[in-house]
Amino acid sequence: MAEQAIRSAGNKVRAKPLPTAKARPKGWITAILFLIVVGIGLGSYFVLAGIGEPALSSAANGAYAVIRVPAGGNFQAALDRAKPGDTIELAAGATYKGKFTLPNKAGAEFITVRTSADDSRLPAAGKRLEYKKYADILPKIVSNVKGEPALTTAAGAHHFRFVGIEFGPTIEGLYNIIEIGTTEETSIEQLPHHIEFDRVAVLGDPKWGQRRGIAANGKFIKIENSYFADIKREGEESQAIAVWASDGPIEIVNNYLEAAAENILFGGAENALGLVAADCVIRDNHLNKPIEWKGTKWNVKNFIEIKSGRRIKIENNLMTNNWQMAQEGTGVLFRTGEDSGPQAVVEDIEFTGNIMRGSGSALNIFGGEGKGGRNLTVRNNLFEDISGKKYDGRGFFIKSTTFSNVVIENNTVIHDGSITIAYGDPVRGFVFRNNIVFNNEYGFFGDNVGPGKPALATYFPGAVITNNVIVGGKASDYGTSNFYPPAIGQIGFVDAAKGNYQLDPNSPYAKRGFGGKSVGASIDPRTVGGR
């Protein structure tokens, strides 16, 4: 063994040599033989200890090392020293300040960075981190340089996993807490990849807020079972997670995501490689804007905005509290944006099994920029308390222009505005079936042409509108293949007062949908939003 300890002088690591032969105590040969015997039995166990520095020992099987970084130790030195398969343990509850960089290392095994607390003190694998319950055992990584992230990546850095770590705000909440990629990469090989976060906390400053939690501009990025809070800014965008320089895949699964502008954003900026994020999953998350933020200075926009992306599945998420502030209060936008570059496309998107509860309006569909929008499915979702009156929006279900192949089916929408607000170029290939909606004042409404049949003919040419329950609507507007109860009480929900809008088996609209399905969403609210 070449060294006994690593010590730090600034960012330098120097080795403490073993004692010379003259200095070795009597009995050292016996000691060494004992260690050899133990090593044979336990997998070559060894310890390199140092004061205030990472202590190194092998794993029990002898294959990988465990690098222990005590409070005040040199985390960057541990990152630089670790080899694929190794584990870096940060002291539970300790704070590590710096701009730490994940290096690019050869090999395809993960380097794990985790709390020193035993697994039994963390949530079980697959369970979401409840921050207040576990805060005392989470090591904290924070930035100590104004305008710089706490954690960033070298070009091509890969195979790092973080477990049971807290990432604190940047100074004055500027820019990104975690910055994966720079958007300045000139080749796919330079993109960071296989970076994972499991049961971590990402926290903005309660006073300053935070521009962004994670800028996930790489490949094979996974964020799961984690907790994001206080991601908010005055007069600026803010996102818990943003992706604009990736071709995917990205997995965002079972997190609590609290952010003002967009909880999750795909696109919104050009990238040098012309990448479009693809094969991404957003599942089992709770996306929230604390209602206490309403009427404050924080810039609020929407829960999810997809400005560029293909083959994205958004499923089984709970979205709570959104209102008009910096935008009109729409919950989810599928909108190609020229700010995402000429390659921007929104296509092959599935939005299924979600609950949106409390928003100024529900959906915005716009595919008129970049390479446009096509192939969107919105199926089996509950939109509850969509209210312009309560949340300063317009209370509509869908605002639309310039899209192709849109299927809206088996959704239940409790709203106080129009079914649609359509404008500009039409939506072609529009299917609207098996939904429960409210006609309210204008129903299907189109700019400059009025509601009902004129709006459908102008803005949804050739649309299929069938087997819907349109409360307060008329057959003269939408045809005889739909149902028109006069009030919500005639629908027959299981327990609307408790948020269960599934149809009771005795509802007159059970099994009356297209294909023999029941009309509306079949969602048990207890199963949505992760765990």
Concatenate the DSSP letters of all residues of 69-117 into one string.
E-TT--HHHHHHH--TT-EEEEPTT-EEES-EEEPP-SSSSPEEEEESS
Query: How many other β-carbons are positioned within 10 Å of the β-carbon of residue 59?
Result: 15
409 - beta bridge partners? 379, 433
Q: Which of 6-20, 120-134, 326-340 has the lowest mean pLDDT?
A: 6-20
Residue 156's CB is within 10 A of a number of other CB atoms, namely 18
Q: Residue 386 in contact with residue 416, Cβ under 8 Å?
A: yes
Q: Which amino acid, 385?
A: D
Look-up of token digits 């599934």: 502
Task: Give dist(CA 263, CA 439) in Å, integer.
Answer: 30
Rounded to two decimals, what is the model's pTM? 0.89
Q: How far is CA 366 from CA 88, 326, 363, 404, 420, in A?
A: 46, 18, 10, 10, 13
Cα–Cα distance measured from residue 518 to residue 507, given in angstroms and rounded to the nearest whole number: 9
Q: Return the pLDDT at 18.
A: 30
- Residue 63 pLDDT class (50, 70, 90 cuts): confident
Contacts of 213 (CB under 8 A, 6+ apart): 167, 176, 177, 178, 202, 204, 228, 231, 239, 240, 241, 259
| Coil, strand or helix at 335 | strand
Q: Binning pLDDT at 50, 70 and 90, where does residue 56 land?
A: low
User: In this predicted structure, what is the pLDDT of residue 52?
Assistant: 53
Q: Higher-confidence residue: 169 or 52?
A: 169
The confidence score (pLDDT) of residue 61 equals 52
Residue-level pLDDT at 299: 96
Average pLDDT rounded to a whole number, residues 24-46: 38
- Residue 414's SS3 state is strand
DSSP state at residue 482: S
**Mean pLDDT score of the chain:** 90
Residue 345 pLDDT exceeds 90: yes
Residue 53 pLDDT: 63
pLDDT 10s digits, 139-159: 999 999 999 999 999 999 999
Average pLDDT over residues 404-410: 98
Residue 349 has pLDDT above 80, yes or no: yes
Quote the pLDDT of residue 522.
95
At position 439, the amino acid (one-letter code) is N
* Sign of the C-alpha dihedral computed for residues 380, 382, 388 and 389 taken in this order: positive
Q: Which of 167, 171, 115 has the alpha carbon at shortest distance from 180?
A: 167
The answer on pLDDT for 38 being more than 50 is no
Omega of the bond prior to 25 within 30 degrees of 0, cis? no
Q: What is the pLDDT of residue 333?
A: 98
> Would the pLDDT of 403 be above 60?
yes
Question: What percent of the chain is predicted at pLDDT more than 90?
Answer: 85
Q: How far apart are CA 85 and CA 66, in angstroms?
A: 9
Q: Per residue in 265-323, pLDDT tens?
A: 999 999 989 999 999 999 999 999 999 999 999 999 999 999 999 999 999 999 999 99
The proportion of the chain whose per-residue pLDDT surpasses 70, expressed as a percent, equals: 88
Distance CA 157, CA 161 (A): 12
CA torsion, ordered 177, 178, 180, 182, to nearest 10 deg: 20
Distance from C-alpha of 206 to C-alpha of 53, rounded to nearest angstrom? 32
Give the mean pLDDT of 17-36: 38
